[in-house]
Amino acid sequence: MAGADDSMDVPETDELTPPNRTLMGPGPSDVHPRVLRAMSTPLVGHLDPSFVEIMDEVQELLRYTFRTDNRWTIPVSGTGSAAMEAAIGNVVEPGDTMLVPTNGYFGGRMASMARRAGGEVVEVDAPWGEPLDPAQVSDALAEHDPDVFGFVHAETSTGVLQPNVPELTAAAHDHDALVIADTVTSIGGVELRVDEWDVDVAYAGPQKCLSCPPGASPLTLSDDAMDKVLSREEDPRSWYLDLSLLEGYWGDERAYHHTAPITNVYAIREALRLVAEEGIEERWERHERLAGALKAGVEGMGLEMNAPDEYWLPSLNAVRVPDGIDDGEVCGELLERYDLEIASGLGDLDGEIFRIGCMGHSARPQNVIYAVTALGDVLESMGADVDPGAGVTATRGALE
């Protein structure tokens, strides 16, 4: 029958030429050219002996980067939220109680996922823009006796780095709760020690401080956490993210479960090789130094950071929007005039902060000077009370 198909036009499109942006928002960050090259190498099958070797290498590199000996360390197929849902959806069983924080966007996402897993959610309060107070976490643990405690190590929505992690995990373990940490914006960017800090489960993302495109996301679980997962009475609600099934593929058996995103596994392997080459501690130090120069620049031009130094997050700098300035317009102008991506605030900090990432391959002197120069120029042209020259001078001084 000559129908709709015949009359449908062939869509006319041009070859893909995306704009050449400098990515300094909350992620993705600029991808290292070596990672892009790894992604253009030929596919092999997901059970090819050569790929099995690549899987082993990725797992070893992930352990190095997480600072863990956990056998259960894999890249989950999907973005950071897939690793997050794999963590929460497997560890939280129906009827379990999970304690989550209220101090940012991603604590809220933890709560949604825990509810979908059949868990009951209780909260420990802290305002957006502040870290959790260990004493309040202890009180909440005593009051609610949760099975699982989740916290966000690096809150990308607020630019807050959670200090005192060993204190939080010790308190949770005193109450027999397992600890799930969101390390999406900390892995490979700020100090993170899964084993030494006694974190039971940590999930992360590749497109923040690892400077890798999204698609395969780090996850690690201790034996204790995995024991809970493997002795569940009820299957997790997701088949795709069921860790007891994924064990067949990433464990010793190497049996088909789903087709691994081969190209993304190549990518994260190369991104993690870059971490190992640089050295994990050197990499944390570089982020602190480069983000420190960025911070010096924004403060030097007359702007204010949202977080005090004690819990400043180098990989995501929350900067107060100056009076009378529309944050969305500034972000739009930076993109238009400078091909530079930064982000505005969300949730309780909507309209109040800029979020400037300093992650992975984007954490370089030329990027930092560029961002400070561009931000100063755009703000000045909009009539903000800033001194762009003083900002650039401060950044340059900090980089010397």
Ligand X SMILES: *Cc1c(COP(=O)(O)O)cnc(C)c1O
Footprint on this chain of ligand X (rule: CB under 6 A): 27, 79-81, 84, 106, 152, 156, 182, 184-185, 205, 214
Contact 376, 391 (CB under 8 A): yes
Nearer to ligand X (CB atom), residue 271 or residue 379: 271
The Cα 173–Cα 166 span in angstroms is: 10
Nearer to ligand X (CB atom), residue 79 or residue 138: 79
Instruction: Single out the residue of 177, 229, 219 nearest to residue 198, CA to CA.
Output: 177
Across the beta sheet with 353-357, the strand order is 316-320, 353-357, 343-344
Nearer to ligand X (CB atom), residue 187 or residue 293: 187
Q: State the minimum distance, in angstroms, from the CB of residue 85 to ligand X.
A: 9
Nearer to ligand X (CB atom), residue 214 or residue 236: 214
Q: Which pair of tokens denotes residue 387?
A: 């001194």
Q: State the minimum distance, in angstroms, from the CB of residue 3 to ligand X.
A: 40
CA 69 to chain centre: 21
Long-range CB contacts (within 8 A, 24+) of 221-226: 221/70, 221/72, 221/73, 221/87, 221/91, 222/70, 222/72, 223/70, 223/71, 223/72, 224/178, 224/200, 225/72, 225/91, 225/178, 225/200, 225/201, 226/71, 226/72
Half-sphere exposure of 271 (CA within 13 A, CB side): 36
The Cα 310–Cα 88 span in angstroms is: 29
Query: What residues form DSSP beta bridges with 216?
Result: 77
Q: State the minimum distance, in angstroms, from the CB of residue 252 to ligand X.
A: 29
- Residue identified by tokens 């924004």 is 298
Give the strand pairing for 353-357 and 201-203.
unpaired
Q: State the minimum distance, in angstroms, from the CB of residue 88 to ligand X.
A: 11
Instruction: Single out the residue of 117, 77, 314, 100 nearest to residue 218, CA to CA.
Output: 77
The Cα 222–Cα 148 span in angstroms is: 14
Nearer to ligand X (CB atom), residue 210 or residue 334: 210
Q: State the minimum distance, in angstroms, from the CB of residue 83 to ligand X.
A: 8
Q: Which residue is nearest to ligand X (CB)?
A: 80
Nearer to ligand X (CB atom), residue 58 or residue 369: 58
Q: Buried (b) or exposed (e) across 23-34, using 16+ Cβ within 10 A?
A: bbbbbbbbbbeb
Residues with Cβ within 8 Å of residue 18, at least 6 apart in sequence: none
Nearer to ligand X (CB atom), residue 156 or residue 317: 156
Nearer to ligand X (CB atom), residue 162 or residue 169: 162
Q: State the minimum distance, in angstroms, from the CB of residue 255 to ligand X.
A: 27
- Residue at 226: amino acid letter: M
Nearer to ligand X (CB atom), residue 152 or residue 358: 152
